[in-house]
Each structure stands twice: as structure tokens, then as C-alpha cells.
Amino acid sequence: MSFPQLDIYLNNISENAKKLRQELELENIKLTAVVKGFAGDLRIFKAYQESGIQSIADSRIENIKKFREAGYRDEVLMLRIPMLSEIKEIVPYIDASLVTEAKTAELISKAAEAAAKVIDLIIMVDIGDRREGILADNLEGLAQKIESLPGVRLKGIGTNLGCFAGIIPDQKNTQHLINLKKKLEAKLGRELEILSAGNTATIRLLKDQQLAREISNLRVGEAILLGTDIINQSLIDDYHHYNFRLQAEIVELKEKPSNPEGEMAFEGQGRGQIIEDKGLRRRAILAVGKQDIDYHGLYPELEGVEVLGASSDHLITDVTDAAGDLEVGDILTFKINYSAMLRAMTSQYVTKNYIE
């Protein structure tokens, strides 16, 4: 075995995907599975295919190409607003894209015509989270522009909540999006097929039977991969949770003063760590760091272990209160959140261990 190691529970992921797909189908909601979190890994992608997923979204053309080359023929949505410099490259591989800029739509139109295909476009609207999205007052202008372009079809509108400012999807902002769609349809003189309300954080409304019937699409990643909803700080009922587990090896185990000693950089703020003086404490240093994981998203499985921080190559933990007698060379296991999973999957230095 090679450490650090990421244990990946494939069957759990597949079962989560199947369960969510079936739940949404009962509500006539299309599931677009967001697959960017596992960095194009084909073993994990196979678990998605086995669950019957027929629409995926990714932000990286490198991953999309891998899926296509592996034989995937169903719908691909370009999740991140495309860079102008990559549009010619991505158009042959995608079926749809999120857009917020007229110039982006124009270039997709030209590339689609050259490729003799039609690309569906979904305009993203900013209704509060302040990540990507056009402001409501400018929605009609962009929609009319897209309507005039060949090679593209305005399929609908969508929004994103939670990912930047942490704005929680609720009935109020969802209704605002619905109203924008109805107003735009009246201006265009036709119905739009897609109202894409959001991501994992929106599932809470579905579970509470508060998700408006006008919602026709959800773009979901975290719920499938981890069974968690970090925005609402909850585990999703009846799903498999924390399907990625990090294992890391202790390389140093010593008692040390908990309070740093010496003059702190950055005007006395140091590295921004909140350090409490607890006297002499037992610290375990593990061979994994910021290059491999987001240490804020690690949850130790061994009771009594506390994550203190990390450098590029080391994870610093307090194991004074840990159960059992730890030694150098022992392995500690951590449940991980979406951010830590994303970085671990991207790191070439983390061994991937697939568990069926």
C-alpha cells in the first residue's frame, strides 16, 4: 500500500446516483450529474454509467474528452462558462453549455456551424450568490441575441447558489427564478425547456416537498459523491455518506509546547492559525499536505484526534486525547468533504484505492 491513499467506495457512489435519479424522475426533474469532482477518473465514471446517468456536466475539456473516448454518447453540459480560447476545441465534444456573455454565445454559434451541429445554451442568472450569472435586467437582451444566432438554441435559464457567498436556495429565490423564466417566455413568444434551479443545496427543498414544480433540472455533484450537503450542513437521509476516505501515515510523533515561540510574521498574525495555549501536547505529523488536500475538510475517524493545520507537505494534528497507543508509521483515516476530495482526486501524489 502506498500513502497517502484515498479509498473510493464505488458501489455507494453508484447507488447514490441511481437513488437521486429515480427520486428526481418521480418529480419530472432531469438530473445532470456534475462529475468535475473526480478529475476525469474513469473507474468512478463507470459507477455513474452503471446507475443510468444520461446527462453529465464537467468544467474541463480534458475530462470530457476522456469520457467521450471511453464511449460515453449521452448528454454533456459544459459546466463552467467557456473560455473564448477553448470554444473551438470543446464544441465537437459537448451538447450544451452555460453562458452569460454575448461574445461567448457568438463564438459557440460559429464553432457549432462549422461542426454542423446545434449547441443548447442555458443562460445563468445571478439571483444573489454573486458567482457566475447575468443580472436579471440584462436577461432579455442576451436571450434575444442568442435567438438570432445560428448553430445554437436557447434551451432555458438557470442559476447557481451556495458555491461562492453561501446563499441558501429557498422558496423565495426559487420563485424569483421562475418569474424571470415566465417573463422571458412571454417576451420570446415560446416556452423554454429548462429551468435549472441549482445544485446539491436545492435537494433540501425536494426532501421537504417545497421544490417548485416549474423546476425541470438540477445539477448535482456532492450529493452523489458524498451524500452530504455542506451548504445546509447536513447528511442527506438514506444516502451513503463520505464515500471517499483519506488514509495518511504518521511520520513524526512528539510532545511539544502547543504555543509557537518567536516573533510571528505578517505583523504578528503568523499564518492565520488560531492557536490556543494548552501547554505540552502530543503532536502527530502526517505525510500529506495542502498540495494534496484541503485540511479544513478532514474529519478524523479516530476519536480524540484534532486537525490543527497543514503546510504544503505535512498535516499537523493533536493526538493527545486519541484513543489507543499511536506510533510512527501508523495510519490515520479521515472522512473528507467535497473540497478535500476535489484536491485529493486532482493530486498525483495520492494513491487511489477503488472499493467495489
Collect all residues with Cβ–Cβ distance below 8 Å to 283 and sequence separation of at least 6.
252, 253, 254, 255, 256, 308, 316, 317, 318, 319
Q: What is the pLDDT of residues 79-133, one digit of tens each?
A: 999 999 999 999 999 999 999 999 999 999 999 999 999 999 999 998 876 677 8
Q: CA distances (Å), 92 to each of 57, 86, 96, 107, in order? A: 15, 11, 11, 13
User: Measured between alpha carbons, how far is 209 from 78 in angstroms, rounded to an integer?
Assistant: 29
Q: What is the pLDDT of residues 205-243, one digit of tens each?
A: 777 777 778 889 999 999 999 999 876 778 988 999 999
Residues 99 and 123: beta-carbon distance below 8 Å: yes
The three cell numbers of residue 254 are 512528539
Tell me what the mean pLDDT of segment 23-45 comes to: 95
Q: Which of 300, 345, 308 is nearest to 324 (CA)?
A: 300
The whole-number pLDDT of residue 33 equals 97
Domains 10-235 and 244-355 share a fold: no
Tell me what the mean pLDDT of segment 279-305 comes to: 96
pTM beyond 0.85, yes or no = yes
Tell me what the mean pLDDT of segment 45-49 comes to: 97
pLDDT at 166 over 90: no
Cross-strand bridge partners of residue 250: 286
The whole-number pLDDT of residue 343 equals 97
pLDDT band with cut points at 50, 70 and 90 for residue 276 = confident
User: Measured between alpha carbons, how far is 11 from 48 in angstroms, rounded to an integer?
Assistant: 10
Q: Which of 12, 70, 19 is nearest to 41 (CA)?
A: 70
Residues 4 and 38: beta-carbon distance below 8 Å: no
Answer yes or no: 290 catalytic: no
CA 220 and chain centroid, separation: 8
The whole-number pLDDT of residue 203 equals 80
Mean model confidence pLDDT for the chain: 91
pLDDT at 163 over 80: no
The whole-number pLDDT of residue 334 equals 98
Q: What is the pLDDT of residues 293-314, one digit of tens each?
A: 999 999 999 999 999 999 999 9
Residues 13 and 224: beta-carbon distance below 8 Å: yes
Q: CA distances (Å), 46 to each of 11, 129, 202, in order? A: 10, 33, 26
User: Among the options 36, 155, 181, 335, which is catalytic?
Assistant: 36
pLDDT at 169 over 80: no
Q: What is the DSSP letter of 74?
A: S
Q: Where are the domains positioned within the chain?
A: 10-235, 244-355
DSSP letters for 19-73? HHHHHHHHTT-EEEEE-GGGTT-HHHHHHHHHTT--EEEES-HHHHHHHHHTT--
User: Measured between alpha carbons, how far is 300 from 247 in angstroms, rounded to an integer?
Assistant: 10
Residues 64 and 92: beta-carbon distance below 8 Å: no
Question: Which CATH code is given to the segment(s) 244-355?
Answer: 2.40.37.10
Q: What is the DSSP letter of 140?
A: H
pLDDT at 165 over 60: no
Cross-strand bridge partners of residue 70: none
Tell me what the mean pLDDT of segment 161-182 comes to: 74
User: Measured between alpha carbons, how far is 225 from 241 in angstroms, rounded to an integer?
Assistant: 8
Pairing of strands 30-34, 55-58: parallel
The whole-number pLDDT of residue 204 equals 79
Question: Which CATH code is given to the segment(s) 10-235?
Answer: 3.20.20.10
Nearest 5°: phi and psi at 108?
-65, -40
Residues 16 and 35: beta-carbon distance below 8 Å: no
The b/e string for 204-225 (b: 16+ C-beta within 10 A; e otherwise) is bbbeeeebeeebbbbbbbbbbb
pLDDT at 273 over 80: no
